[in-house]
Amino acid sequence: MSSNASLALALLAFAACSSYTFEQRSTFAETIGSPEALLHARDPRALSERLAKIQMPETDEHHAELLRVLRSVSEITTDRLLLLTNAVAPGEKALGSGTKITINGRRINTARAPRGTGPYAYVVDRLLQEGTTKLVDVNRFNAGRLIGRSESMEAMVQLSDRFLPRIDDGSPTALREILIGFDGSLPDATRTYSGSWGTTTITSTSNNAKSQFVTEILFPRGLAEGKREFVALEAISGTSRRLTVLQARLGLCKTIEPDRFEEYLELLSGNSSRLALLSEHAEKLEGMDHDDALDLTKTLSGSSSRLEILPKLVARVEEPLDLQAMRRYLKSVSGSSSRLQLLNNLGADLAYENAEDIRDTLKLYAGSSSRLQALKTILERSRLQLSGRDMRRLVAMFSGSSSRIEAIEVTERYVQRPIEASSAISLLKLFGGTSSKLEVLRKLERDYEALPRKDREYIVEQFPSSSSRKKAKKILGL
């Protein structure tokens, strides 16, 4: 459904329970008289504002008269030329041309159609193309106003070719003054609706004159390099528009340095826009190290966004992923589930040299279940051979007998045999209850049976009751 149709439905629904009236704007003939009067206005800018509030004639005769008036003079100022362009019927279609609605005493305004879409947009371009040859007050600000008023890309290119060689000396100041001029042009597809519910403004970014000038004129021609690049980018208001412009900028780059990319990201507010830019252009990053990848990651908020982008960034890092870097990446996301996901995504080729390396990584996981899953993932990938002492230290990182028994099940297949007696005995001491001690003996029955008899007898003595000692003797083969 079109925006106009959506608006109409919303208004009808609201009006059904409201008192409303339809009014007609004043006409051009009633307020101005004839196009000829525009050339003699004492205050052209004030009159331009009045023109925005009246109903323009949507006739070929009116627009032919505007062109005739322009052609009747040999010189013209920027204000008067823009006044003529503002007398062109803008093609308001949202609620009917020239209509305003009052609902419960609050007025709802329509606004001009998006740039280049009005039925008489070509007249604006023709007025600009002919009128700019007669200007008496060409400067940077006025050039920006006139280029920004163009309706078509063809007219924008022609006006840029006409003005830029004369008024742009290549300095940041010159570009800033030109772009400020764009703000003196008419808005593009902006509609503001006011009612008892408040005020809503809808702006289309697809045809914005300033954005188009930056992406279609400045960037391809190399007119926005160095400091001028950020003058151009900062002149674009709104995150969605800046994102569009930055996408175009990066589309022209074969490679980009991480520091420059980070500066681009800082121009965007909103996590989704930053993520979109990074996701689409991460492959162009060059000269990356782990510090760079982390700095870019930290421009995003929320673990889900960081999880999405980290594999793409790490893939661009020119040095191998080591344990220290991996732990830093894990710390950049919050929550054990996110860290588990990241470990699965990035940690396939990590080399753990000893159990202490594993312990340092496990400390980043809160809760026995996530820590156990991390341990399982690490051991499956590293294939590190553990000693009995290593197993005991890893099991000790878990709280609760059931979690520790699960940790034994995960680690025992990676333990070198035979397990030394001291480690087997100290492992058993991690468990306080009789039933859990017996469960440990069953899980590692062959290992405990292989211990010297005196060590097995010592283990039996650790059980408090005769019945539990009897069960332990049976498991230990005594």
In a domain, 291, yes or no: yes
**Residue 434, CA distances (Å) to 48, 382, 465 in order:** 92, 34, 9
- State the Cα–Cα distance between residues 113 and 199, nearest whole angstrom: 19
**What is the count of structural domains for the chain?**
2
pLDDT tops 60 at residue 173: yes
Q: Which of 359, 368, 365 is nearest to 343 (CA)?
A: 365
User: Bigger pLDDT: 232 or 184?
Assistant: 232
Is residue 325, in this structure, part of any structural domain at all?
yes
Residue 416 CA to its chain's centroid (Å): 50
State mean pLDDT over 365-383: 91
User: Which pLDDT score is estimated for 474?
Assistant: 92
Task: Dump pLDDT digits (tens) for 16-66.
Answer: 444 444 445 688 888 888 899 999 888 988 888 888 778 889 899 999 999
The verdict on residue 477 lying in a domain is yes
Q: What is the DSSP string of 107-152?
A: EE---PPPTTTSTTHHHHHHHHHHHTTSBS---HHHHHHHHHH--S
Domain's final residue, options 316, 336, 356:
336
Q: Does residue 383 lie in a domain region? A: no
What confidence score (pLDDT) does residue 199 get? 45
Single out the residue of 159, 189, 155 nearest to residue 2, CA to CA.
189
pLDDT-derived band at 303, boundaries 50, 70, 90: very high
Domain with 444 in it: 434-478
Strand ranges, E, within 8-105: 20-24, 99-103
Provide the pLDDT for residue 114: 72
Q: What is the pLDDT of residue 109?
A: 46
Is it the case that residue 393 has pLDDT exceeding 60? yes
Determine the pLDDT at residue 84: 95
What share of the chain has pLDDT > 90, as a percent? 70
pLDDT of residue 225: 95
| pLDDT the model gives residue 18 | 42
Specify the pairing of strand 106-108 against strand 189-195.
unpaired
pLDDT digits (tens, 9 = 90+) for 401-411: 999 999 999 99
Spatial distance between the Cα atoms of 474 and 470, rounded to a whole number of angstroms: 6
Question: Quick one: pLDDT at residue 52?
Answer: 77
- The answer as to whether 460 is a domain residue is yes
Name the domain boundary from 315, 336, 357.
Answer: 336
As a whole number of angstroms, the distance between CA 419 and CA 89 comes to 91
Tens-place pLDDT, residues 234-245:
999 888 999 999
The whole-number average pLDDT for the span 84-110 is 58
Q: Looking at residue 315, what is its pLDDT?
A: 94
Residue 199: strand, helix, or coil: strand
Mean pLDDT for the stretch of residues 231-256: 93
pLDDT at 108 over 80: no
| Phi, psi (deg, nearest 5) at residue 443 | -65, -35
Cα–Cα distances (Å) from 67 to 106, 115, 118, 214, 218, in that order, read 37, 20, 17, 29, 30
Asked whether residue 345 is assigned to any structural domain, the reply reads no
Q: Quick check: is 317 in a domain?
A: yes
pLDDT score at 105? 47
pLDDT at res. 444 = 95
| Contact call for residues 35 and 66 (beta carbons, < 8 A) | yes
Mean per-residue pLDDT for 282-289? Answer: 96
Last residue of a domain, one of 336, 355, 375: 336
Label residue 184 by pLDDT band (50, 70, 90). low
Domain assignment present for 193: no
Q: What is the pTM of this model?
A: 0.77
Locate all alpha helices (DSSP H) within 214-302, ordered by sequence. 227-234, 239-251, 258-266, 271-281, 290-297
**Rounded to an integer, what distance in angstroms lies between the CA atom of residue 422 and that of residue 451?**
10
pLDDT at 261: 97
Task: Check residue 6 and give its pLDDT.
Answer: 47
The answer to whether residues 436 and 401 touch, using CB atoms and an 8 Å cutoff, is yes
